[in-house]
Amino acid sequence: MNQNQPKFNYGEALQKSNLFYLAQRSGDLPDDYVIPWRDDSAVNDGADVNRDLSGGYYDAGDHVKFGFPMAASMTMLSWGVIEYSEGYEKVGQLDDTLENIRWGTDYILKAYDDKGTATTSDDVFWGQVGDGQKDHAYWGAPEDMTMSRPSFKVDAQNPGSDLTAESAAALASASIAFRSTDAAYADKLLEKAKGLYRFAEQHRGVYSDSISNAGSFYNSWSGYQDELAWGAVWLHKAIQASGETDSQYLDKAQSYYKGIDSGWTHNWDEKSYGTAILLAQLTDKSQYKQDVEAWLDNWVNPNDGIQKTDGGLAWLSQWGSLRYTANTAFLAGVYGDTVNDKQGKYTEFSENQINYILGDNPNNFSYMVGFGENYPQNPHHRAASGTTNISDSDSNEYTLYGALVGGPSAANDDAYQDRRTDYIANEVALDYNAAFTGALARMTDEFGGEALTEIPGINLDGIADSNPIDPITGSVDNSDTGNNPIDPITTGGNPDTPNEAIDNVVFSLVNQWNNGFTAKVKITNNSNEVVNDWELELNTPFEIKEIWNGSIESHQGNEYLITDVGWNASIAPGSSLEFGFNGIKSDAITEQDIINQISFSSDSLPISE
């Protein structure tokens, strides 16, 4: 990776991309949901077929749940976590990203009805909720919908191998992303991924032939062979990540791989590009590397191949042009970082394209809503518009933070207008932000950044770990701890002379670098009464730099009084809460010093001694 100075706060951009996925959620929203202009919606999805199909994500500026691009987006989000987890961790966004993935994979699990039998002949996968035509005739918030929302399926008689194999890829890739933090969930995802892939392979057909309503919106132009290769390669990687050995899925992936067209790129429909990169990583075969590099060179070389604007944007096609650019930028970064970078030109291309999108362009215009000083005010999005009239002359009432708009409709830096009615250049979608999010995580991994403590109109107290973490601009010292949490401690003081035996306050180190670290404190109320307005005194061998989900009421030297932040003032019996902070330590203080010397006391918490 090159070491140029960062042009933007990539941590903020990554944080806001996560907020976009929150704004797209359907169903029964969690109690700590942070976007005030969204509420529960479509909670009865699936009632027409007597199955709970609530949850998941609305596709774009509309309210249809299209299963094919939703699954493709979850796969790409998971790939970003797998490749650049350190980038997410550096800016406190890993947990939020995993929760966004889980919101999608939980829905995919609901959508797959395998009947619990050994055969796939009775399997059903619910691939869409909502009639695209009826939905697109309505302009309003999802909370106010009254139209019918029919459910559409694929099964053995009406197959959809592309849809089900992509859904298998989503579950398999997510199982890798969750493997280190929730092994039971990862195992469940992998088991269901195997079943979905078997279903896809044994009953072959194009999903948009079976769900004709999807054909006008997400027709499967490339067929299903690319998804069979893509699903197989992710299953191979997921099985490896679980600690088992596998060869059958890798063999399948290679047999289904059909090569790539260097004049196009990876997207919700065509998966051969990502498959080629994964196969190059796994096998080191020249076939895959040659295919990938011929394609990337066509994008990267300035004087031929994919069109370039005067400002440097690689432009492929008018409908959602930046989606293709962001997808290629992510894949170019992954390939350059893990296989071959050709004197740095692939990663340089990746960084330049992301910077263009964020505002390093002739118009100094950010194509990410809510990022920078100059960004779209009117993305084509029913809920964010705050109106029932698409042609309303007022700007959108709500800021759809983090959404990547479609972008220039021609290979011209000026071929974009911020018009709500322009769904070609100004709509947003799950798949637009998916690889883009991973590319932003790569940028935070490379350049650092910090998430914001305040965003107008957003209650950040509701999101765990979305407050700022110091940008780590140098290399992280992982010689002792890696990036895995250190075993939590429940005692303080000199290990030879035990201090207070604290059984309900747990301190744990999450990450550590040269002169600082990120830590969490978990408080559990083990009494029989509600704890209100809690306070906790910390006596530490370090300085607390930033804190989230808690407030520093006072401190003298390294003695800190930590209090609640209002919304978490009460702790019910048997319940827990967490707050976190960044600590700054001198070189003389070791990891063991931190663990040995920290101590807790409280007048409001029943800490036993």
Which residues belong to the active site?
62, 380, 418, 427
Runs of H (alpha helix) within 112-149: 132-136
Q: Residue 314 pairs with which residues in a beta bridge?
A: 308
Contact assessment for residue 157 and residue 222, using Cβ atoms and an 8 Å cutoff: no
Please answer whether residues 293 and 332 qualify as being in contact, where contact means their C-beta atoms are separated by less than 8 angstroms: no
Structure tokens belonging to residue 236: 């191979």
**Could you tell me how far CA 245 lies from the centroid of its own chain?**
28
Token pair recorded at residue 187:
């195992």
Tokens found for residue 249: 């899925």
Q: Collect all residues with Cβ–Cβ distance below 8 Å to 329 and sequence separation of at least 6.
A: 349, 350, 351, 353, 354, 435, 436, 439
Identify the three-state secondary structure at position 481.
coil
State which amino acid sits at residue 227.
E
Q: Output the six-digit token pair for 533.
A: 């307005």
272, 226 Cβ separation under 8 angstroms: yes
Asked if 166 contacts 71 with a C-beta cutoff of 8 angstroms, the reply is: yes
Q: Would you state the structure tokens that stand for residue 319, as one six-digit string?
A: 């409908």
Contact 163, 207 (CB under 8 A): yes
Pairwise CA distance, residues 548 & 520, whole Å: 10
**Please, is 403 exposed, middle or buried when counting C-beta atoms within 10 Å of its C-beta (0-12, 13-18, 19+)?**
buried
Q: How far apart are CA 148 and CA 130, in angstroms?
A: 7
Phi-psi region of 468 (alpha: psi -120 to 50; beta: other; left: phi over 0): beta
DSSP secondary structure code for residue 380 in this structure? B
Counting Cα atoms < 13 Å in the Cβ hemisphere of 47 gives 7
For residues 252 and 228, the answer to whether their CB atoms sit within 8 Å is yes
